[in-house]
Amino acid sequence: MESEVSLAAGNRASSLTLTVMNRYVLNLKGIPYKTEWVEYPDIESRWKELGIPHTSLKPDGSPFYTVPAIHDPSTGVYLSESIDIAEYLDKTYPDTPCMFPHNTLGLLSPFNDLVGSYLAALWQFIVPVVCVRLNPASQGYFRTTREAIFGKNMDDVVPKGDLVTTEWAKVKEGMGKVDVLYSKTNGPYLMGDALSWGDVVVAAHLAFMRAIWGEDSQEWRDISSWHDGRWKRVVDDFEKYATVV
Amino acid sequence: MESEVSLAAGNRASSLTLTVMNRYVLNLKGIPYKTEWVEYPDIESRWKELGIPHTSLKPDGSPFYTVPAIHDPSTGVYLSESIDIAEYLDKTYPDTPCMFPHNTLGLLSPFNDLVGSYLAALWQFIVPVVCVRLNPASQGYFRTTREAIFGKNMDDVVPKGDLVTTEWAKVKEGMGKVDVLYSKTNGPYLMGDALSWGDVVVAAHLAFMRAIWGEDSQEWRDISSWHDGRWKRVVDDFEKYATVV
């Protein structure tokens, strides 16, 4: 590698789950990199300028540009979509720890969406807190796009009254499904002794939650107490790969 | 093993997907077994009599007993739920080919449900054909329970008119998602050179479709033509493990 990789991440205050995943991967692999923080409203124009491919299409059919993205000066590659970045880094730097051991890229491809479906009830608790923590430059964009997704005003997104208990129970149930997957092997990882992209996904979700709510919050204390303390162990184990460069 | 394992399968004419999976696994492992066909209405009483555990709970909270199930006389074990059977056979007969290579039981646990979610549009095409092919002893039970699931009369389950094209396109789209997973490795299996439970699940779905519609049906000809002929290759490759004993 001639020089360090650039990881373009979302607004520093939000420190998106997906960005955490690629930070873990770069640190795990020991690849030198620097982070460039980008405000939400600037992503599209900056990506077009750099020639970073879009990740998917918006409902209106126009291209949708997302963080994280990387630029690798040693190959000239610009790439977005966190799992594609991990796959690229595995292939380009084969002497570093592999994220998809034993040809598990196919099996692990749906894993982030799977965890997302298990944790469908989580985001209503997270998004309103993220919103107020963003820089002013990103806050309006984030509010408008997320209100459209939830179909309600940001103030109405977070569960209230009895819904707090029932919706939070769904988050615990979702983490329970992830716990079942872990319990199938003798750990500490989803694939037993082999760390993989699956663990990166889970640890990044946990690190994101802990960062958003804070270590002393009731939410994080709850999560730390669930499933025999597994979640604190998982995220603590990844702490050595969490350095923000 | 002192004597042969029994595989209790659904009505022979329906030859359920899940039953096909365990037949593949037993044949792949070279474990001698014999199949006992059970009519749907007889499953619950027979399972209770043998002490086979239930698989899940019905909406009313009562236990739900399902095929396939096995009895292994060498250990005295009675077991249902196809992935649990595969896990049991891996552990009990460790010198036979492993269905969850490299500690992938956790990663592969959600795989059947994942394929099921990709193929949500498939069953409306399949179930009415299965219904008329069952033995009379199973037909009433199957009709009643499936009509409750679909919330319509059996005659109204299969798509009609313009819906045939749009719903069939969803089946192709679902198979396309499975194709993407395969395309992530250099095959022929989901894990590259290593056959796993993932391939068993996909091949069993295909074998079931082909058996229900027939090899000369328009449906099977369509599927054989999709995704560069992948599906015919996958199911043909498993033909050597398809013997019904």
* B155 part of a folded domain: yes
Chain A residues near residue B106 by CB distance under 8 angstroms = 181-185, 190-191, 198
User: B93 and B148 in one domain?
Assistant: no
CA distance B167 to chain A (A): 21
Q: Do A102 and B102 touch (CB under 8 A)?
A: yes
Residue B48 sits in which domain range? 5-98
Query: Does residue A91 lie in a domain region?
Result: yes
- Which ipTM value was assigned to this complex? 0.91
Q: Is residue B66 part of a domain?
A: yes
A228 in the same domain as A181: yes
Residues B149 and B60 in one domain: no
B192 CB within 8 Å of a chain A CB: yes
- DSSP label at residue A240: G
> Same domain, yes or no, for A173 and A116?
yes
A106: in domain: no
pLDDT tens for the 245 residues of chain A, in order: 345 677 776 665 555 666 889 999 999 999 999 888 888 899 999 899 988 989 889 888 999 998 889 999 899 899 998 999 999 999 999 999 999 999 999 999 999 999 999 999 999 999 999 988 888 888 999 999 999 999 999 999 999 999 999 999 999 999 999 999 999 998 899 999 999 999 999 999 999 999 999 999 999 999 999 999 999 999 999 999 998 87
The count of domains in chain A is 2
Same domain, A27 and A147: no
Same-domain check for residues B185 and B131: yes
B116 and B82 within one domain: no
* CATH number of the domain bearing residue A221: 1.20.1050.10
User: Greatest CA span in chain A, whole angstroms?
Assistant: 57
Which of A118, A120, A145 is CA-nearest to residue A131? A145
Among A103, A111, A194, select the one facing B185 at the smallest CB separation: A103
Task: Report if residue B104 sits inside a domain.
Answer: no
What is the helix (H) or strand (E) element at residue A63, kind and residue range? Answer: strand A63-64
Given a contact cutoff of 8 angstroms between Cβ atoms, the answer to whether B182 and B190 are in contact is yes
H-only helix segments in A151-192: 154-157, 162-183
User: What H or E segment, with its residue span, contains residue B171?
Assistant: helix B162-183
CB contact under 8 A, B107 and A107: yes
Shared domain check, B90 and B67: yes
Do the domain assignments include residue B189? yes
Interface membership of A114 toward B (CB under 8 Å): yes
Contact at CB, B184 and A105, closer than 8 angstroms: yes
Asked which of B98, B120, B137 is the last residue of a domain, the reply is B98
